[in-house]
């Protein structure tokens, strides 16, 4: 069983290719729950990038409606959305970009009465509000629940952001006395790109945290001067007299979002409609050579058809174990390596047996095909252009690939 379904595997492929993310990192993002408070100039870019990154559950909290004055910086919205709920429209936009995540819209402002329930189940909170009272509510609730949160604010051409965790200084340490008569964007204005940049920094810090990294920005206040296009950073000192330094009895909290040892279970429809009980059993050696390249490559249609029509075929994934665990279409996983032919021989000594190979792009499976043919295997075929092309040709999700056939004949 794969961790990701076919659509997710395609959606997140460029992430998974990164050594800094990989299958495990993308699974962490998939299992994460993020609370995003505010869907304005900061919240829009934060929501866009966290949704696109594959954060599995995002709760968007905003009780405001969309106005025309919002549109120059709140890039999830358009003229047709004026007068509608920010949280609901934003949730709809995120789902349109990534249908594999859950987005919950809360059409309300954060208050003393709802903040604890909102924070309780979150792995991290992002403050995208524009007022100090809301930030104090978020700060105190996150201290109570020992939940990290990322603060940001923008005004004019300047912005600032900080990642507060249970081990760092908190917002009250930085602002023990709240500034008075601070203008907001409605009164002072804001450059659209400043809001976008600070939102992207928040999203970046959030993704790094969810991937399990100690981020260098933790416990520091980052200041951006948009006029000079310069950043500077201030280390924050924890106040021993602050509420964050006092013992806290933490209420019940959701289990950590570390990947479960059990693979993610999903339900899906059949992608390849091949009923092996109805198909005549034919040996792949009978395939017309007009349909097979010299390298033994089969296009997706032919690969699916011939595998389904072959009684004794061996299906092999030549990618890494991590890639196979992330998503596969069945069969054994034997990574392409110097001993590849010997490893295949250990499970298949019959060199007349049909063998079907696949990888992500078709490059590794083609090399594996050549290696097996050089080792004397006669009926070896690989998926042309790999899973990427196959999944583009057959974009539906599915749980098993020719399940009944593979379970009988892949050993």
Distance from the first to the final alpha carbon of the chain: 16
User: Which member of 185, 244, 305, 369 is catalytic?
Assistant: 185
Burial of 375 (0-12, 13-18, 19+ CB in 10 A): middle
DSSP assignment letter at 99? T
Phi and psi at 29, nearest 5°, equal -65, -40
Q: How far is CA 178 from CA 112, 170, 173, in A?
A: 18, 14, 11
Phi and psi at 149, nearest 5°, equal -145, 155
Distance CA 296, CA 369 (A): 7
185 among known catalytic residues:
yes
How far is the C-alpha of 287 from the C-alpha of 303, rounded, in Å?
A: 11
Rounded to 5 degrees, what are φ and ψ at 266?
-140, 155
Q: Is the dihedral of CA 191, 193, 199, 205 positive or negative?
A: negative
Tokens found for residue 116: 């604890």
- H or E segment and range at residue 195: helix 192-210
Residue 90 in 3-state DSSP? helix
| 65 DSSP β-pair partners | 85
Helices (H) and strands (E) in the chain, counts: 16, 13
Percent of residues in the chain assigned helix, strand, coil, to nearest 5: 35, 15, 45
How far apart CA 132 and CA 129 sit, in angstroms, is 8
**Cβ pair 398, 5 in contact under 8 A:** yes
Report H helices in 217-273: none
| Rounded distance between C-alpha atoms, residue 255 and residue 259, angstroms | 11
Burial class, 388, CB count within 10 angstroms (exposed 0-12 / middle 13-18 / buried 19+)? middle
For residue 127, the number of C-alpha atoms closer than 13 Å in the C-beta half-sphere is 28
Catalytic residue list: 185
């Amino acid at each position: 069983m794969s961790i990701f379904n076919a659509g997710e595997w395609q959606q997140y492929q460029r992430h998974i290719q990164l050594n800094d993310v990989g299958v495990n990192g993308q699974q962490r993002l998939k299992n994460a729950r993020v609370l995003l408070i505010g869907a304005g100039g900061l919240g829009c870019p934060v929501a866009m990038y966290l949704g696109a990154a594959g954060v599995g559950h995002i709760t968007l909290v905003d009780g405001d409606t969309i106005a025309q004055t919002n549109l120059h910086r709140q890039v999830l919205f358009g003229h047709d959305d004026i007068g509608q709920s920010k949280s609901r429209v934003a949730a709809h936009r995120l789902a349109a970009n990534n249908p594999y995540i859950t987005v919950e819209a809360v059409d309300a402002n954060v208050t003393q009465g709802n903040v604890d329930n909102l924070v309780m189940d979150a792995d991290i909170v992002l403050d995208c509000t524009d007022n100090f009272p809301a930030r104090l509510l978020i700060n105190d609730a996150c201290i109570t629940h020992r939940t990290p949160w990322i603060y940001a604010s923008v005004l004019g051409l300047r912005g600032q952001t900080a990642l507060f965790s249970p081990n760092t200084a908190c917002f009250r340490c930085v602002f023990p006395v709240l500034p008075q008569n601070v203008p907001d964007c409605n009164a002072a204005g804001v450059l659209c790109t400043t809001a976008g940049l600070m939102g992207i920094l928040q999203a970046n810090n959030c993704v790094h945290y969810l991937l399990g990294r100690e981020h260098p920005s933790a416990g520091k206040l980052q200041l951006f001067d948009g006029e000079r296009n310069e950043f500077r950073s201030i280390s924050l000192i924890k106040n021993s007299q602050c509420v964050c330094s006092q013992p806290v009895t933490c209420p019940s909290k959701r289990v950590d979002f570390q990947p479960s040892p059990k693979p993610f279970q999903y339900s899906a429809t059949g992608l390849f409609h091949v009923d092996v009980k109805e198909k005549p059993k034919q040996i792949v050696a009978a395939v017309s050579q007009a349909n097979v390249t010299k390298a033994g490559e089969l296009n997706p249609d032919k690969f699916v058809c011939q595998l389904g029509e072959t009684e004794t075929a061996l299906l092999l994934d030549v990618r890494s174990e991590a890639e196979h665990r992330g998503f596969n279409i069945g069969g054994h996983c034997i990574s392409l390596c110097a001993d590849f032919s010997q490893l295949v021989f250990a499970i298949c000594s019959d060199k007349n047996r049909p063998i079907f190979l696949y990888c992500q792009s078709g490059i590794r499976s083609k090399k594996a095909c050549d290696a097996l043919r050089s080792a004397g295997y006669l009926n070896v075929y690989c998926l042309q252009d790999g899973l990427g092309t196959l999944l583009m040709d057959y974009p539906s999700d599915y749980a098993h690939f020719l399940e009944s056939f593979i379970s009988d004949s892949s050993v």
